[in-house]
Amino acid sequence: MHIMESTPGPRTVIDGKEVDYFAGTGYYCLQGHPEVIAAAVEAVKKYGVASGTSSTGYGNTPVSVELETSAARFFGTESVICYASGCLGNSILLEGLGDDYDAIFADKESHYSIMNAAYMVYKPVIVFEDRDPEDLRKKLKMYLEPSQRPVVICDGIFPISGHISPIPQYVEVLKEIEGAIICVDDAHATGVIGEKGRGTYEYFGLTGEGLYASGTLGKALGAQGGIIAGDKAYIKKLKEKSTFPNACSAIAIPAAAAAAKALDILYRDLDLRRKLWDNALYAKSGFRGLGFAIDDSPAPIICLHSLKNVDFQALQLELYKKNIAVTYLAGGGYTSVPRNGALRISIFSSHTREQIDGLIEAISRLI
Ligand SMILES: Cc1ncc(COP(=O)(O)O)c(C=O)c1O
């Protein structure tokens, strides 16, 4: 077990040594941003650590109101719903929209929280091949009854493979089916892709009816909690029809204050996104140069796998000896891990080109 002894950043202290850190999900390192920390500390001093009740009880505070205001501005919507963990977002969507669909079609590599939510709502669940619109079309033909409406659910950006779901192709497949809807788990896309950081739909320029998403405050936004944005009637419906967030405590005060500040920072500082995308594209191109098949999307997750004679677990250990931290995942060890295991590399907006070059160079010497 490793112990992180500083705030996560491009240089992070782990197990008593400072390393070049290419792991985790804090793509802008907002967890350690001085304004974010100050907001969290200030809020705790005023309102304590937590409200000790759900947001449907007395759990709303000036901090949660501020979070909702910042989030609505960030997402450009009338309203938002915030809850204790991004993991709950898929349940909130599938329960809250329960009257709007009859069968669930989920990507095979969907995050655990999608599959848990899908099996919780007592509707047929059909799995289609990862990011495969043609298989989705086939499964819809095979399993959807003529009068039924499907919901397609998937990750926006997959946590380990870093792939982006081909949502425009799904829209195309669904356009013949009356009442079809899509739910995207945007945990890794929130604040990351799309011109304004609003996630996968914005990245593809998709708007309109039937496109729903949930996000997290715990990755790029550096705090903790989940979020769904939309118009007032939709958010009211989700609150009324889903068991979460009624069933759990509101987001803890420091996390809510940190998230509100992080959303403000990301809203005003467009440069952060540019730097993140530039770094991601730069690093991906470097790894393609080493022979890895990697897409050229701005998603800041790089997945190295399936290179002949390379033991990726040994590679991670060797890199760690050289004070570079990346993540190794065995096949089946998490959702969207390639069958034979993989190295997951996170790119941050604040990584320097020297750090990225150093990582690529170290890996090129070891493979
Ligand atoms: C796709 C996906 N959804 C949801 C989550 C959970 O988000 P949170 O940590 O906010 O509960 C994760 C993170 O692990 C994830 O990768």
CATH of 36-268, one of 3.40.640.10, 3.30.43.10, 3.30.1490.20, 3.30.360.10: 3.40.640.10
Residue 21 alpha carbon to ligand 1 centre in Å? 20
Residue 231: enclosing H or E segment and its boundaries? Answer: none
Per-position pLDDT tens, the chain of length 367: 999 999 999 999 999 999 999 999 999 999 999 999 999 999 999 999 999 888 888 889 999 999 999 999 999 999 999 999 999 999 999 999 999 999 999 999 999 999 999 999 999 999 999 999 999 999 999 999 999 999 999 999 999 999 999 999 999 999 999 999 999 999 999 999 999 999 999 999 999 999 999 999 999 999 999 999 999 999 999 999 999 877 889 999 999 999 999 999 999 999 999 999 999 999 999 999 999 999 999 999 999 998 888 899 999 999 999 999 999 999 988 998 988 899 999 999 999 999 999 999 999 999 9
Pair of tokens at residue 299: 């998603």
**Domain residue ranges in the chain:** 11-22+270-366, 36-268
DSSP output for 291-321: T------S-SEEEE---TT--HHHHHHHHHH
Stated pTM of the model: 0.96
The conformational region for residue 79 under phi > 0 = left, psi -120 to 50 = alpha, else beta, is beta
Pair of tokens at residue 325: 């931290």
The domains spanning 11-22+270-366 and 36-268 adopt the same CATH topology:
no
Residue 256: enclosing H or E segment and its boundaries? Answer: helix 253-268
Query: In CATH, what class is 11-22+270-366?
Result: alpha beta
Shortest CA distance to 209 belongs to which of 182, 184, 240? 182
Residue 52 alpha carbon to ligand 1 centre in Å? 23
- Strand pairing class (79-83; 226-230): antiparallel
Give the CA-trace dihedral at 241, 242, 244, 247, to 10 degrees. Answer: 60
- Ligand 1 pocket by C-beta < 6 Å: which residues? 85-87, 111, 113, 155, 159, 185, 187-188, 216, 218, 226
Cα→Cα distances 14→259, 301, 324, Å: 25, 21, 10
Residue 90 alpha carbon to ligand 1 centre in Å? 10
